[in-house]
């Protein structure tokens, strides 16, 4: 059973990836210099500084952008959720719902469960819910609107998988918020993990994680960790 290759999920993802490429092309060119798909070190440093000063303002300024995972990373999300037989998933930064669809598809194929998403921008919550409905996955997902440091305080039970894909400067605070609820062996996937405090924390086995960089989308700072307690 693989929802990714079946209607209506496949059609929804194909359309959304096309829309994301069109919508975000100018932003991608701005942060990469238009020469590659990899953000420059200077652009990353600027983004981190802006977020640390006002992450809510930065998120609002990007309200029209998908900021989505690539198809390859999306398939990896699906595969990871299937492999660990996830039943409860937490997603920091649902945006317009592309990564959410990959994860919710895995939940459906695992026999059900719940995905708790978080998104600070109202317009993105509305669009994500619409896209999930089009993919016939909305019954598995609750997207909580607002600051994740507030909305994710109660996740209702053990978390089998955590995806960090929101404000880059909040990865460590969100991880520490969810950490008491992580199930043994839970994967923690961080896309665009450029924050040094986060990398230092998950890179130290004394904090309960084993961590490796992912070769998917090289240069995008994708990191894979497992909570071993």
229 residues of the chain, pLDDT tens digit each: 798 999 999 999 999 999 999 999 988 888 777 656 677 788 888 888 898 899 999 999 999 999 999 999 999 999 999 999 999 999 999 999 999 999 999 999 999 999 999 999 999 999 999 999 999 999 999 999 999 999 999 999 999 999 999 999 999 999 999 999 999 999 999 999 999 999 999 999 999 999 999 999 999 999 999 999 9
Q: What's the CA angle centered on 229, arms 92 and 87, to 5 degrees?
A: 50
Looking at residue 46, its pLDDT comes to 86
Looking at residue 35, its pLDDT comes to 54
Instruction: Tell me how many helices (H) and strands (E) the chain has.
Output: 8, 7
Looking at residue 28, its pLDDT comes to 81
118 forms beta bridges with 92, 144
Coil, helix or strand for 58?
Answer: helix
| Domain edges within the chain | 3-15+66-227
Q: What's the CA angle centered on 148, arms 146 and 151, to 5 degrees?
A: 70
Report the candidate in 202, 191, 189 with the shortest Cα–Cα distance to residue 83.
189
Report pTM.
0.95
CATH class of 3-15+66-227: alpha beta
Are the beta carbons of 51 and 167 closer than 8 angstroms?
yes
Looking at residue 87, its pLDDT comes to 99
Q: How far apart are CA 227 and CA 69, in angstroms?
A: 23
């Amino acid at each position: 059973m693989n929802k990714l290759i079946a209607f209506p999920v496949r059609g929804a993802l194909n359309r959304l990836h096309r829309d994301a490429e069109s919508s975000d092309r100018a932003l991608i060119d701005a942060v990469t210099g238009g020469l590659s798909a990899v953000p420059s070190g200077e652009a990353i440093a600027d983004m981190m500084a802006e977020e640390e000063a006002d992450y809510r303002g930065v998120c609002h300024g990007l309200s029209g952008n998908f900021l989505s995972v690539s198809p390859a990373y999306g398939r990896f999300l699906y595969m990871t959720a299937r492999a660990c037989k996830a039943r409860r998933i937490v997603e920091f930064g649902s945006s317009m719902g592309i990564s959410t669809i990959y994860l919710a598809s895995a939940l459906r194929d695992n026999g059900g469960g719940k995905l708790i998403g978080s998104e600070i921008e109202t317009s993105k919550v509305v669009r994500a819910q619409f896209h999930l409905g089009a993919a016939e996955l909305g019954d598995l997902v609750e997207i909580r609107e607002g600051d994740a440091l507030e909305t994710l305080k109660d996740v209702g039970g053990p978390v089998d998988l955590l995806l960090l894909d929101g404000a880059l400067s909040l990865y460590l605070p969100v991880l520490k918020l969810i950490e008491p609820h992580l199930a043994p062996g839970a994967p923690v996937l961080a896309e665009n993990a450029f924050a040094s405090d986060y990398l230092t924390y998950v890179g130290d086995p004394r904090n309960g994680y084993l961590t490796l960089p992912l070769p998917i989308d090289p240069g995008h700072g994708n990191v894979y960790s497992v909570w071993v307690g």
